[in-house]
């Protein structure tokens, strides 16, 4: 065959690979995936043949793959091979890369904090306390563990601004409630794989404040809590092995059934000394409570009327799952 791209001519897979700037292996893979099928296949030899009419589409596929677009995006392009589709797919990829970069930067900050403030063993003294239900103004959201520090501080700022608009002072330090892990095995696996936590971040108050938009007003759960105190980075609260041990030993001593550790219980973290109080992160102080016997459920139930938000670095809190 000549070097010109002749309309109607059949090209072997090797020649078509050269003209389309892809490898023969890639073309075979695209054939198997239904993304780019050959025009003809020899019944005896199984050799694939392509036409010049397929070259513009093949070269567009090559450019999309050079931009690291996933296979699902390539399949979408096969149904609408237009410049408009290319621009949209590139825009979606750009948004995903920015999200991935934000996540990597957040993970880097976690490692930098841990290097600056390494873990030190501490004994967790567990006490039993009763805390009644109290008015609570909070912002519910879902967030990855890497972003939980920043999202928590942003949530507290939102809630404080809401309280200030109503001339109400917080009656407690900042508080986060974390619901028990899902009991459904499939949901639990997704929960663990995505490393996403559901968080209710806010403040107790002495008077009723109306809800507004994503900031909700309700009540904290009341009942009997096991309580201990943690000193140091909040990051280590997510690695609660030592704390789990002391809490679990107290549970066994008191004859309370335990299946999965802290994941069995609603957990409250009260930030008595937070990063908004000091730059010395090694001196942070957090009171941690496990709800062992609930007397009142409060308003922290997830349902359709309670929007769960995702925290995004670029946009802040956005509605989503």
Considering its fold, how many domains does the chain have in total? 2
Please report the pLDDT score of residue 12 as a whole number. 95
For 230, what's the count of Cα atoms within 13 Å in the CB-facing half-sphere? Answer: 27
- Identify which of 30-39, 241-250, 301-310 has the greatest average pLDDT: 30-39
223 and 147, same domain (yes or no): yes
- 114 pLDDT more than 80: yes
Is residue 134 in a domain? yes
- Separation in Å, CA 283 to CA 93, 172, 271, 288: 41, 19, 12, 16
Both tokens of residue 233? 């980075």
* φ/ψ bin of 98: left (φ > 0), alpha (ψ from -120 to 50), beta (otherwise): alpha
Model confidence pLDDT, tens digit, residues 274-320: 988 998 988 999 999 999 888 888 877 544 444 455 556 556 655 55
DSSP summary character for residue 19: H
First and final CA of the chain: distance in angstroms?
A: 56
> Computed over its alpha carbons, how large is the radius of gyration of the chain?
28
Please report the pLDDT score of residue 305 as a whole number. 47
44 and 167, same domain (yes or no): no
- Average per-residue pLDDT for the chain: 85
Query: Dihedral angle at the C-alpha atoms of 4, 6, 11, 17, nearest 10 degrees?
Result: 50
Of 91, 119, 150, the residue at which a domain comes to its end is 91
Q: Residue 283 sits in a domain of what CATH number?
A: 3.20.80.10
Q: Residue 84 sits in a domain of what CATH number?
A: 1.10.1660.10
33 and 77, same domain (yes or no): yes
Q: Which residue has the higher pLDDT, 311 or 9?
A: 9
56 and 147, same domain (yes or no): no
In terms of pTM, does the model score above 0.85?
no
- 246 pLDDT more than 90: no
């Amino acid at each position: 065959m000549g070097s010109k791209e002749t309309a109607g001519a059949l090209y072997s897979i090797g020649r078509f690979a050269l003209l389309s700037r892809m490898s023969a292996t890639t073309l075979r893979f695209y054939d198997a995936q239904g993304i780019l099928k050959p025009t003809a296949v020899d019944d005896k030899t199984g050799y694939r043949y392509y036409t010049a009419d397929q070259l513009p589409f093949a070269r567009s596929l090559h450019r999309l793959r050079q931009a690291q677009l996933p296979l699902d995006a390539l399949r979408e392009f096969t149904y609408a091979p237009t410049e408009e589709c290319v621009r949209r797919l590139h825009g979606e990829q750009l948004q995903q890369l920015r999200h991935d970069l934000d996540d990597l930067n957040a993970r880097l900050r976690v490692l930098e904090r841990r290097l600056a403030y390494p873990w030190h063993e501490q004994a967790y003294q567990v006490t039993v306390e009763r805390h009644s239900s109290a008015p609570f103004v909070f912002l519910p959201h879902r967030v990855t563990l890497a972003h939980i520090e920043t999202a928590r501080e942003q949530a507290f700022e939102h809630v404080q601004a809401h309280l200030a608009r109503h001339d109400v002072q917080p009656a407690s330090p900042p508080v986060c409630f974390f619901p028990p892990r899902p009991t459904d095995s499939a949901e639990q696996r997704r929960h663990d794989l995505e490393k996403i936590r559901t968080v209710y971040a806010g403040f107790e108050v002495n008077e009723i404040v109306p809800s507004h938009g994503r900031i909700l007003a309700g009540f904290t759960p009341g009942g009997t809590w096991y309580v201990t105190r943690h000193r140091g980075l909040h990051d280590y609260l997510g690695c609660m092995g030592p704390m789990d041990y002391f809490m679990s030993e107290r549970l066994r001593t008191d004859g309370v059934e335990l299946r999965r550790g802290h994941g069995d219980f609603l957990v409250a973290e009260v930030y008595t000394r937070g990063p908004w109080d000091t730059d010395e992160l090694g001196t942070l102080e957090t009171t941690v409570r496990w709800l062992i016997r609930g007397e009142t459920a409060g308003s922290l139930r997830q349902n359709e009327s309670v929007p769960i938000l995702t925290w995004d670095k670029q946009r802040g809190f956005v509605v989503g799952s």
